[in-house]
């Protein structure tokens, strides 16, 4: 690890308290940064109150902090305005919000295009919409190394396509999506683009305007913030044209027995008490992230990813899933060892203080396309170092001695 990055691990309370732990499961949940945890505690101990319509000082302080959190997220994503930021309970809720609210503007015969590489949270809601409304659902296939195969994108899209919903990078292979190609093709037929950024946000601030997407979803716990909070970015004109997803307090204009009118976005999509403290914690994490040298961090993560791939390729009967080049993927590395179940592999590794994830990773269509039922996944973040990679490779040698 670069000397400038060596202190990062100490900024994460759990990692600082467990120096023996090799945490390689950040694609599932990244560790919370001290600034985010401090922000949550500060809010809960100094200004815990509900937001919206409180007229006493404590509630007004909570309002201000919540509004500032929305502004911070807008800066992190380079959104045009804070009102384009909707707080949800996580990326899954954000994706379901679009499937429900934008989905209610679609009709039978309209097409939604997704990919084989999607997490179930960007797959199942569209199947549910198909059952409910009769939309067409089409799939972008993947290549042998798990990248989206865009060779036949215009035909797949068709003139009736209304939305393309894809991952920014795979949570299994780490393969990056060619977002520019998808946005260009979508614009030719007037389709909107939804990007699932859950696996991209921990690797640096995003620019939704440069990406050219209409919707962007992510979770706070993936980018060093609190659990239980997520974000949906949506272009203001699209949010304004969408009906609400949930009904209740805070999302209305006026309620009578005869009729109800809706609040303007984003409040229209934030029924009930929002995740106040969690949003404030997320904002603190994003503020911290925006101070970092991401070129240096990307080089560090890519170097570790390359070191891991090189070591895995020397292990007999191990199949690497995804692109062979570290530069072609986020630092997410999944593999299959012939004859060994990922759960058994992870249990042996756990005995050596290595935290990895084994299973289908909520991406069964992708694993089926790659010809495996389950796999073992190591995911690298900015607080990892070469010692973590060496420990994993040594641990896999123990796996082979123990299980084969």
**Residue 227, token pair as written in the block:** 């659990």
Which has the closest alpha carbon to 113: 80, 149, 143, 89?
Answer: 149
The pairs formed by 207-215 with CB atoms below 8 angstroms and a separation of 24 or more are: 207/77, 207/78, 208/77, 208/78, 208/79, 208/233, 209/78, 209/79, 209/80, 210/78, 211/179, 211/180, 211/183, 212/179, 212/180, 212/183, 212/187, 213/179, 213/183, 214/238, 215/98, 215/102
Beta-strand relationship, 161-167 and 192-196: parallel
What is the Cα–Cα distance from 96 to 382, expressed in whole angstroms? 30
Beta-strand relationship, 230-234 and 252-255: unpaired
| Whether 305 is catalytic | no
Concatenating the DSSP letter of every residue in 100-130 gives IIIGGG--TT-EEEEETT--GGGTHHHHHHH
What is the Cα–Cα distance from 171 to 191, expressed in whole angstroms? 25
Give me the catalytic one of 169, 305, 346, 362.
362
Which are the catalytic amino acids?
A: 362
């Amino acid at each position: 690890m670069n000397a400038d990055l060596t202190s990062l691990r100490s900024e994460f309370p759990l990692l600082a308290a467990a120096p023996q732990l090799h945490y390689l499961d950040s694609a599932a949940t990244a560790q919370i940064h001290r600034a985010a945890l401090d922000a949550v505690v500060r809010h809960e101990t100094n200004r815990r109150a509900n937001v919206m319509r409180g007229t006493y000082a404590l509630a007004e302080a909570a309002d201000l902090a919540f509004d500032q959190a929305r502004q911070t997220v807008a800066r992190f994503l380079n959104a045009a305005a804070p009102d384009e930021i909707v707080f949800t309970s996580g990326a899954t809720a954000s994706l379901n919000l679009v499937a429900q609210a934008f989905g209610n503007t679609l009709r039978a015969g309209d097409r939604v295009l997704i990919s084989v590489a999607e997490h179930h949270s960007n797959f199942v809601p569209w199947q549910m919409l198909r059952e409910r409304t009769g939309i067409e659902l089409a799939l972008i296939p993947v290549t042998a190394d798990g990248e989206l195969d865009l060779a036949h994108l215009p035909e797949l899209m068709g003139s009736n396509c209304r939305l393309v919903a894809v991952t920014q990078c795979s949570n299994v292979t780490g393969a990056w999506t060619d977002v520019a190609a998808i946005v260009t093709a979508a614009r030719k037929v007037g389709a909107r683009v939804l990007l699932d950024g859950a696996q991209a946000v921990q690797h640096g601030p995003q620019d939704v305007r440069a990406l050219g997407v209409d919707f962007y979803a992510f979770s706070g716990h993936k980018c060093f913030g609190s659990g239980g909070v997520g974000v949906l970015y949506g272009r203001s004109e699209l949010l304004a044209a969408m009906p609400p997803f949930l009904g209740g307090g805070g999302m209305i204009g006026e309620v009578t027995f005869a009729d109800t009118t809706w609040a303007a976005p984003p409040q229209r999509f934030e029924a009930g008490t929002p995740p106040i403290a969690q949003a404030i914690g997320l904002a603190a994490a994003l503020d911290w992230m925006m101070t970092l040298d991401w070129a240096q961090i990307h080089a560090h993560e890519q170097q570790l990813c390359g070191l891991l791939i090189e070591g895995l390729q020397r292990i007999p009967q191990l199949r690497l899933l995804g692109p062979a080049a570290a530069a072609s993927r986020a630092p997410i590395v999944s593999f299959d060892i012939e004859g060994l179940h990922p759960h058994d592999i992870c249990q042996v590794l756990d005995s050596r203080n290595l935290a990895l994830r084994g299973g289908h990773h909520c991406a069964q269509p992708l694993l089926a396309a790659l010809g495996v039922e389950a796999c073992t996944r190591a995911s690298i973040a900015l607080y990892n170092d070469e010692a973590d990679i060496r420990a994993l490779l040594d641990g896999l040698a123990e796996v082979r001695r123990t299980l084969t």
